[in-house]
């Protein structure tokens, strides 16, 4: 099975989809990249930048692609994935590219007539894996989370090399056909990503702690300082490098983050409650000039040094 | 008055003091740098690295220097500054380097017999300016806050170019002698800093919002995730670039930050209360699946894009 003859369809030519489009084509994994973009301005930009070989319709993309990457906000992806798997079942002719022959039956191998694969790249995994759990074409779906990004969005934010050296989570990979997982490993191998296998609910706990909460704390920090800016003009003259790095994620896009926060509601609430409690401990220590408590809190927090370089 | 003949004494050879030592010497502002470091391990390191021409005693430093830079945590600086100004008054012989002659009297010019200058570089300004407000040698003190740094501390963290292009606040500069302010402007000019003039209480409000709060939010974030790490091993495998930049300041030193938070208690409490309130709004919106409220909050926060690039 050669990579060079794969047509890759990417639904959503934003930061993630667009960046995948660039490197999968340049590095030879995809012979052709078909892009789908519902927003007309973004579609025009994707065409101008040349992110995909063709910007096509949704149906066209699914019909013509060997691998389909769903790179849309998770709320939309949850609805889209069962539809795509339905279309896999309806297709009559195998595309051939990934159809496998061998001694075991197609059913054992988990191969549908078309042999196509769909992957998602969303930041929450539990709801999306639930949505297709009992779908007859489930084995052709591989759920992934490439842990890379910036605070920018849209085709304008796409860049080569975005994924190099970063981790990519494969969620509930035992629900996918081994040949499909293998193919998707090759795809992420081309992007220089390091695969990590994890069940979807563990993924959502972990990302709540090491990704989702830091976005919320940045949003809250931006809101706090912007509120003050109303009274105190030019407060940002003093913004230092430390402030900029802490508030950077507050530039992140609402369309992406609303579904992440609501889909991962329980984990996010738990981490927010712990976080608010820590803030209150700091507040009370400052309020009561309790230097011992402040030292304990800060020195406990300093243990992060051993983990984050 | 030539720069080249100034002996600069730096009390505290940490990140800030050490970095000033490097550039003031290399760039020719100081003919000699005398350093004071009470911590014996840090003193040995400063000697080994060669941050100062000599590491000397506190009394020696004040006696032999034309400009003294107090680069110690603000709690210590508040006690140290009146002592240093006392020593200025006690000195019999003018050092000569900055003694001015002219038609106006020394009293009018705010020149003490020695003509020496002391500056502080602390992150809070109101308490420190209050502590010396009525001191007879007050005019020889210039209160500054060079807005530069990293999350690291100690002589090991000192680096050339740390201050280049950053802002330096001069607090309550009308309380200092014009010739002293002029000299200190030259010092920060050598470090390529952009001066901003501000009263000490405005300084403390602004820095609470654009610096102190982001340190507290980082500490709280580190504590939250480290707590979870106890139950969920390897949670940090998933830590992304976004998390790292948000939590970076949590590596900051307790000896520096305890006095900042307590000296700037009222402003810090106010900003923390606003911040906790914003976090609660997020929490409640997530809890009730209120997507409209989440959109308002995130899009409001996104306005930070116009300010922080």
> Sorting pLDDT into bands at 50, 70 and 90, what band is B111?
low
Predicted confidence at residue A242, as pLDDT, reads 85
| Surface of B (203-242) touching A: CB under 8 A | 205-207, 209-211, 213-229, 232, 235-242
Is B242's CB within 8 Å of A149's CB?
yes
Is B214's CB within 8 Å of A226's CB?
no
Q: Select the residue of A232, A276, A301 nearest B222 (Cβ to Cβ).
A: A301
Average pLDDT over chain A, rounded to whole? 90
Is the pLDDT at A124 greater than 80? The verdict is yes
B306 vs B213: which has the higher pLDDT = B213
> Sorting pLDDT into bands at 50, 70 and 90, what band is A228?
confident
Predicted confidence at residue B96, as pLDDT, reads 44
Is the pLDDT at A43 greater than 50? The verdict is yes
A100-109, A159-168, B282-291: the lowest-pLDDT one: A100-109
Is the pLDDT at B3 greater than 50? The verdict is no
Nearest CA in chain B to A272: B283
What percent of chain A is predicted at pLDDT more than 70? 91
Query: What is the DSSP code string of chain B?
Result: --GGGEEEEEE--SHHHHHHHHHHHHTTSEEEEEEE--SHHHHHHHHHHT-SSEE--HHHHHHH-SEEEE-S-HHHHHHHHHHHHHHHHH--S--SSS---SSS-HHHHT--SS--EEEE--S--HHHHHHTTT-TTGGGEEEEEE----S--SGGG--TTTTTT-EEEEESGGGS-HHHHHHHHHHHHHTTPEEEEE-HHHHHHHHIIIIIHHHHHHHHHHHHHHHHHHHSTTGGGG--HHHHHHHGGGG--HHHHHHHHHHTHHHHHHHHHHHHHHHHHHHHHHHTT-HHHHHHHHHHHGGGGGT--
Distance from the A60 Cα atom to the nearest Cα atom in chain B, whole angstroms: 32
Is B249's CB within 8 Å of A246's CB?
yes
Is the pLDDT at B106 greater than 60? The verdict is no
Is B236's CB within 8 Å of A261's CB?
no
From chain B, pick out residues whose CB is under 8 angstroms from the CB of A247. Answer: 214, 304, 308
From chain B, pick out residues whose CB is under 8 angstroms from the CB of A250. Answer: 301-302, 304
pLDDT digits (tens, 9 = 90+) for A54-95: 999 999 999 999 999 999 999 999 999 999 999 999 885 444
- CA–CA separation, B95 vs B136, rounded Å? 18
Nearest CA in chain B to A264: B286
Is B215's CB within 8 Å of A242's CB?
yes
Is B232's CB within 8 Å of A273's CB?
no
The complex scores an ipTM of 0.87
- The two domains A3-198 and A204-306 share their CATH topology (first three levels equal): no
From chain B, pick out residues whose CB is under 8 angstroms from the CB of A74. Answer: none
A234 vs A217: which has the higher pLDDT = A217
Q: Where are the domains of chain A?
A: 3-198, 204-306
Is the pLDDT at B110 greater than 90? The verdict is no
Predicted confidence at residue B9, as pLDDT, reads 98
Nearest CA in chain B to A224: B275
Q: Which CATH architecture fits A204-306?
A: Orthogonal Bundle (1.10)
Mean per-residue pLDDT, B56-61: 97
Is the pLDDT at B93 greater than 60? The verdict is no
> Sorting pLDDT into bands at 50, 70 and 90, what band is A308?
confident
Query: Residue A35 contacts by C-beta under 8 Å, 6 or more apart in sequence?
Result: A9, A10, A11, A13, A17, A21, A46, A51, A52, A54, A55, A56, A61
pTM for this prediction: 0.86
Mean per-residue pLDDT, A264-279: 97
Is A248's CB within 8 Å of B249's CB?
no
Predicted confidence at residue A113, as pLDDT, reads 45
What percent of chain A is predicted at pLDDT more than 90? 81
Mean per-residue pLDDT, A103-112: 48
pLDDT digits (tens, 9 = 90+) for B166-198: 999 999 999 999 999 999 999 999 999 999 999
Query: Best interface-test mutation with B: which of A223, A230, A248 has the largest number of B CBs within 10 A?
Result: A223
The CATH homologous superfamily for domain A3-198 is NAD(P)-binding Rossmann-like Domain (3.40.50.720)
Mean per-residue pLDDT, B264-284: 97
Is A223's CB within 8 Å of B167's CB?
no
B292 touches chain A (CB under 8 A): no
| Surface of A (148-207) touching B: CB under 8 A | 148-149, 151, 166-167, 169, 196, 202, 205-207
């Amino acid at each position: 099975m050669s990579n060079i003859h794969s047509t890759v369809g990417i639904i959503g030519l934003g930061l993630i989809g667009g960046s995948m489009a660039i490197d999968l084509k340049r590095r030879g994994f995809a012979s052709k990249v078909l892009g789908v973009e519902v927003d007309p301005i973004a579609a025009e930009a994707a065409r101008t930048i040349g992110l995909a070989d063709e910007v096509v319709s949704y149906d066209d993309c699914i019909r013509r692609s060997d691998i389909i990457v769903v790179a849309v906000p998770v709320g939309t992806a949850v609805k889209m994935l069962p539809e795509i798997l339905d279309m896999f079942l309806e297709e009559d002719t195998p595309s051939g590219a990934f159809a496998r022959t061998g001694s075991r039956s197609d059913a054992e191998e988990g191969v549908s007539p078309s042999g196509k694969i769909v992957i998602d790249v969303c930041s929450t995994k539990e709801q999306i894996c639930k949505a297709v759990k009992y779908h007859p074409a489930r084995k052709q779906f591989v759920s992934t989370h490439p842990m890379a990004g910036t605070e920018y969005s849209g085709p304008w934010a796409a860049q080569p090399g975005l994924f190099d050296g970063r981790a990519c989570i494969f969620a509930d990979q035992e629900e996918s056909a081994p040949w499909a997982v293998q193919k998707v490993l090759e795809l992420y191998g081309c992007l220089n990503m390091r695969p990590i296998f994890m069940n979807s609910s563990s993924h959502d706990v972990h990302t709540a702690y090491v990704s989702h909460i830091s976005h919320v704390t940045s949003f809250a920090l931006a809101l706090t300082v912007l509120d003050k800016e109303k009274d105190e003009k030019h407060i940002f003259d003093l913004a230092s490098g430390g402030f900029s790095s802490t508030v950077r994620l507050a530039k992140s896009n609402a369309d992406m983050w609303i579904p992440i926060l609501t889909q991962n509601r329980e984990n996010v609430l738990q981490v927010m409650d712990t976080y608010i409690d820590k803030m209150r401990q700091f507040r009370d220590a400052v309020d009561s000039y309790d230097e011992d408590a402040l030292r304990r809190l800060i020195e406990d927090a300093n243990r992060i040094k051993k983990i984050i370089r």
